[in-house]
């Protein structure tokens, strides 16, 4: 199986605002009160997500952790790449297992759950955050960047369509992602302004069963292989030579895809490119940790309070590539972590 990473992933920081300081402070206080009174619930339906740009300082330093968020444990694939590229950085990982999967949820609910998760990382003193979820990135990046501004840099994901388009020999590439990711503007823009002018056909395919199967530790089970075959065989038959893994859970399916299709597909994901972008952002804001870290241990917090049931699944996925301490949200205290 030939694997490839997206070298062209890059986002800037958006810091424009049309709101005065009082309205920003009121919005932050209201949102924070809601989030911490109901830590596992979405923001109330009447709560505005209007863009803001001035967040209150959270006391982060160079030694503070990078926050990584995903709807579940798929973002561990990104955490592995971040740790390999930035070995002196501590990582705090938040898995919203109380609400996984996000892919079938409404656009509004995805935005609200993402805002809640990123606010939690901010309140823990993280110096930057990675939205390690393509679905969440598709609907939340603009808002989050305007809301926090330069006080709290946000790095997001977009399916790595560009490198697949550039290197496709058959002029047909496939993207495997959630329905919500395909509804988002990010991937639509890449297809419209990059793939179509290049004369490359982008095929989309989805399967809502894949994320739960990864979360359950069934990536190599017959059920998962059948689900993959059903969603990938049509794009193989149509001549696709590249498969873009448009969900952070899907890199954990590489072995399963190899069993089915061998070298028929070149797999492309954004993990290493996100890690490099995170490094650039830390350098830009002078947030790199200058201390040598010899006792790295990533804290992984579960909103679903299902740490015990996830222990073996996480161990199987990371395979000693990270040292991880799992904690339920109800038991987590940063000062004692």
249 annotated as ligand-binding = yes
46 annotated as ligand-binding = no
181 annotated as ligand-binding = no
For the stretch 47-72, what's the b/e string if a residue is b when 16 or more beta carbons lie within 10 angstroms of its beta carbon?
A: eebebbbbbeebebeeebbbbbbbbb
Whether 247 is catalytic is: yes
Catalytic residue among 14, 126, 133, 278: 133
84 annotated as ligand-binding = no
Whether 231 is catalytic is: no
Beta strands 91-95 and 324-328: pairing type?
unpaired
53 annotated as ligand-binding = no
Residue 319: Cβ within 10 Å count: 8
71 annotated as ligand-binding = yes
Q: Which CA distances in Å does 51 have to 15, 71, 149, 232?
A: 10, 22, 10, 38
State phi, psi for 15 to the nearest 5 degrees. Answer: -130, 20
Beta bridge partners of 3: 267
Please give the full DSSP string across 278-337, using - where no structure is assigned. Answer: HHHHHHHTT----SPPSS--EEEEETTS-HHHHHHHHHHHHTTSS-EEEEEGGG--GGG-
Catalytic residue among 126, 207, 224, 247: 247
193 annotated as ligand-binding = no
103 annotated as ligand-binding = yes
Residues near 222 by beta carbon (within 8 Å), at least 6 away in sequence: none
Q: State the residue for tokens 């040598």.
A: 292
The catalytic residue positions are 133, 247
Annotated binding site: 70-71, 102-103, 134-135, 248-249
Annotated binding site for substrate: 70-71, 102-103, 134-135, 248-249
């Amino acid at each position: 199986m030939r694997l490839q990473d997206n070298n062209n992933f890059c986002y800037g920081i958006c810091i424009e605002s049309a709101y005065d300081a009082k309205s920003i402070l009121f919005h932050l206080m209201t949102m924070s009160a809601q989030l911490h009174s109901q830590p596992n619930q979405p923001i109330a339906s009447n709560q505005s997500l209007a863009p803001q740009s001035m967040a209150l300082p959270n006391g982060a330093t160079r030694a503070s952790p990078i926050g990584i968020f995903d709807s579940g444990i798929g973002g561990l694939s990104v955490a592995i790449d971040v740790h390999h590229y930035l070995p002196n950085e501590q990582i705090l990982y938040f898995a919203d297992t109380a609400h996984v999967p996000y892919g079938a949820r409404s656009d509004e609910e995805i935005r609200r759950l993402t805002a809640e998760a990123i606010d939690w990382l901010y309140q823990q003193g993280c110096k930057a955050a990675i939205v390690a979820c393509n679905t969440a990135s598709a609907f939340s990046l603009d808002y989050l960047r305007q809301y926090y501004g330069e006080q709290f840099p946000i790095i997001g994901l977009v399916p790595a369509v560009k490198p697949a388009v550039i290197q496709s020999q058959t002029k047909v590439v496939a993207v495997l992602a959630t329905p919500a990711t395909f509804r988002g503007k990010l991937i639509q823009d890449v297809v419209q302004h990059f793939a179509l002018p290049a004369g490359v056909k982008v095929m989309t395919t989805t399967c809502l069963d894949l994320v739960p199967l990864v979360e359950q530790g069934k990536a190599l089970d017959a059920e998962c292989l059948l689900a993959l075959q059903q969603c990938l065989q049509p794009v193989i038959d149509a001549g696709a030579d590249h498969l873009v893994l448009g969900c952070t859970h899907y890199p954990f399916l590489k072995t399963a895809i190899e069993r089915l299709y061998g070298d028929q597909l070149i797999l492309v994901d954004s993990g290493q490119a996100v890690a490099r972008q995170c490094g650039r952002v830390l350098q830009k804001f002078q947030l790199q940790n200058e201390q040598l870290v010899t006792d790295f241990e990533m804290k992984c917090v579960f909103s679903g309070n299902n740490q015990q049931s996830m222990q073996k699944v996480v161990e199987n996925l990371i395979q000693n590539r990270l040292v991880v301490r799992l904690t339920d949200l109800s038991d987590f205290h940063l000062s004692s972590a």
